[in-house]
A and B are shown apart, each in its own frame.
Chain A
Amino acid sequence: MRQKTKNPLLALKKDWQLWVMILPALVYILIFCYGPMYGIQLAFRKYDYSKGLTGGDWVGLRYFKQYFDSPMFYTTMKNTFVISFFSLVGGFPVPILLALVINSLRQNKLKRVVQTAVYMPYFISTVVMVAILQIMLSPTTGIVSGLLKSLHLIPSSVNLLGTPSAFVPVYVISGIWQSAGWNSIIFIAALSSVDGQLYDAAKVDGASRLQQVIHVELPAIVPTIIILLIMNMGRILSVGFEKTFLMQNDMNLTVSQVISTYTFNVGVQSGQFSFGSAVGLFNTVVNFVFLILANTVSKRVADISLM
């Protein structure tokens, strides 16, 4: 018993070098990740400059109510949910297909070229990405919008960047263009660890290459698919701030104002710190609930979970 109470000090003496090595990272995380978590109480307090961050009067859920009662609640919730739902539905299958295709290529040179190329857009900054969209989709000179018009896929008078109904498709498709290649890496890695004997067994059974994909490769990557789906559920209400913010203009604001851009508007730009905190906290909580839900469901159904 005695030894147990003594142990921490002894351990500290023995491990002091390890503590020195972890301390900078630990301090950073405590200040810059847990500090803001402590500051969440701002959402429940009336912010008062003279009293500092946590000194304002406690007002309970007043700012949450203010958000739920405002017309922006429905708008921002709907926009955030629509953008993220279509990003998930449209964007999730493409990397899987891409990985299966890349994995099937027989010439190693072509394989490497395709891989290098499809990773490339991921390294382009959001600012440049949005600029490329403006160039490609310009109603007068854009080559992509020109092509779509000549194929009669869109009416010739439409401005893809200013039409509200075009915002989500443009957002989702450009997102796929930018990150499908990068997101395929994890599936390619999962495919490369498939046991060669499984392929041999399938060949003996007379399976064609396509049947091998369906019966050997797909089952092998299902756990990876489920894990990524769970992680994506935890982000269901976190639409990328940068891209939405940069794609926003007066014409598409009805569909492009999402929770994070709204938080930025009310919190940082108009200085309603408490209200902004409440909107942000609501967003975090919804994400967290979705994450837990998805995790529980997959644990029950497939016995796969995050932690």
Chain B
Amino acid sequence: MRSIAGKMKSDRSDRIYYICVTAIAIAALIIVLYPIYFIVIASFSNSNLVNQGKVILWPKGVNFYGYRKILDRSDIWLGYKNTLFYTIAGTMLNLALTLPAAYVLAQSKFRARRVIMTLFVITMYFGGGMIPTYMLVQSLHLTNSVFTMVIMGAVSVYNVIITRTFFESSIPADLHEAAVLDGCSHFRFFLSIVLPLSKAVISVITLYYAVGHWNDFFTALLYLNKDEYQPLQTILRNILISNQAMAGTTGVGEGSYAQQYADQIKFAVIIVSTVPVLCIYPFIQKYFEKGVMIGAVKG
């Protein structure tokens, strides 16, 4: 009797626990999603209604003025084009450096492995700082150059460690020995065995690197002056934060009328610049936990 009563009591407290947990989860869901949802509906609502606080749950006064205005703006398209180039070229360089390095550092028989690993890890905790890096880039004549945007951050030691740990734990050592017996070189083993077996970690670090390039604002702020090289994030800063939404599109002196459209352009710009990234990560999400975990355990 007593144990049954105890069980019922614990069942009840468990039910309360699950209700609380579900409530917290749903609250978190709303807190995270609502601001994003609001930007989406505001981007095609009448901005007067948005500013009066009347657009809360669904769009009102639907129009696509903001999006149509974006189509006319050459600076946004230029920024988009530049960022696309920096992201693709930069990520390809990242992978070309990171994957082979991680493969080498996963070879337990490679004698220099220890030294090189230490050399790499030190840079995670100690660096020259902003100004010496800036001076170095300047003395290499890389300021105001497209290459800077591609080269800076070419190797992330954190990603090297994640990849190395993955290679160590999921490519069996026997496989390599067997391949060597068959006369397989490191190059071939890496290209035709290791890479095809490592889709999980490759997709995770590709995402990390690509998002890093896409969202990078600092490199351009520090090293680029020329308008024609500016990435999307710089253009976004001008439009969104320095409030130059209407610059170049309409004449001055329209007062609140201009401001009203400026707001709608802002919402649309946020959507257009952020959606590509937000569409990609859910596909790679299943690898996150593994990728982050193995990196952190060994890091």
How far does the Cβ of B290 sit from chain A's closest Cβ, in whole Å? 7
Q: Mark B119-162, 1 if CB is under 8 A from A, else 0.
A: 11101011111111111100100000000000110110100100
CB of B101 within 8 A of CB of A25, answer yes
Closest to B38 in A: A143
Q: Does A87 contact B (CB under 8 A)?
A: no
CA distance A98 to B105 in the complex (A): 35
**Docked complex Cα distance between A226 and B162 (Å):** 20
Does the CB pair A277–B131 fall under 8 Å? yes
Which residues from A are CB-within-8-Å of B285?
115-116, 119
B233-250 CB mask vs A (1 if < 8 Å, else 0) is: 100110011000000000
B24 at the interface (CB under 8 A from A): yes
Which residue of A has the minimal Cβ distance to B101?
Answer: A25
Q: Verify if A186 is at the interface (C-beta below 8 Å from B).
A: yes
List the B side residues contacting A120 at CB < 8 Å.
Answer: 32-33, 36, 278, 281
Q: How far is the CB of A131 from chain B (nearest CB, A)?
A: 4
Q: How far is the CA of A210 from the CA of B24 in the complex (A)?
A: 14
**A185 and B288 form a contact (CB under 8 A):** yes
Residue A88 CB within 8 A of the other chain: no
- Max chain A C-beta neighbours (<10 A), residue from B112, B128, B133: B128
Chain B residues touching A, range: 35 or more
CB neighbours of A227 from chain B (8 A):
296
Residues of A within 8 A of B292 (CB): 185-186, 189
Give every chain B residue within 8 A of A228 (Cβ-Cβ): 296
Picked from A40, A125, A241, the residue with its CB within 8 Å of the CB of B128 is: A40
Tell me whether B190 and A21 are in contact (CB under 8 A): yes
* Per-position binary interface string of chain B over residues 29-69, scored 1 when its CB falls under 8 Å from any chain A CB and 0 otherwise: 10111011011000000000011110010000000000000
What residues on A are CB-neighbors of B28 within 8 Å? 98, 101, 114, 117-118, 181
Q: Are A123 and B217 in contact (CB under 8 A)?
A: no
Task: State whether A127 touches B135 (Cβ < 8 A).
Answer: no
The answer to whether B129 and A283 have CB atoms under 8 Å apart is yes
Residue A24 lies at the interface, judged by CB distance under 8 Å to chain B: yes
Q: B131: which A residues are within 8 A, CB to CB?
A: 42, 263, 267-268, 273, 276-277, 280
Alpha-carbon distance between A105 and B241 when the two chains are bound, in angstroms: 39
Q: Does A141 contact B (CB under 8 A)?
A: yes
Cβ of A305 within 8 Å of any chain B Cβ, yes or no, is no
1/0 per residue A175-196: CB within 8 Å of B? 0010001000110111011000
Query: Which chain B residues lie closer than 8 Å to A39 at the CB level?
Result: 128, 132-133, 135-136
Complex contacts, B29 vs chain A, CB 8 Å: 113-114, 117-118
B22 at the interface (CB under 8 A from A): yes
Is A135 a contact partner of B39 (Cβ separation < 8 A)?
yes
Please state if B266 and A135 are interface contacts (CB–CB under 8 Å): yes
In the complex, the answer to whether A288 meets B25 with C-beta atoms within 8 Å is no
| Min distance, Cβ A66 to any Cβ of chain B, angstroms | 14
Contacts of A105 in B (CB 8 A): 21-22, 25
> A56 CA to B4 CA in the complex, in Å?
84
How close is B98's CB to chain A, nearest CB, in angstroms? 7
How does the 8 Å CB contact mask read for A270-292 relative to B, with 1 for contact and 0 for none?
Answer: 00010011001101100110010
A273 touches B129 (CB 8 A): no
**13 A-B interface contacts by CB (under 8 A):** A15-B110, A17-B187, A22-B101, A25-B100, A36-B132, A53-B139, A125-B274, A130-B241, A132-B35, A136-B35, A189-B290, A189-B292, A267-B130
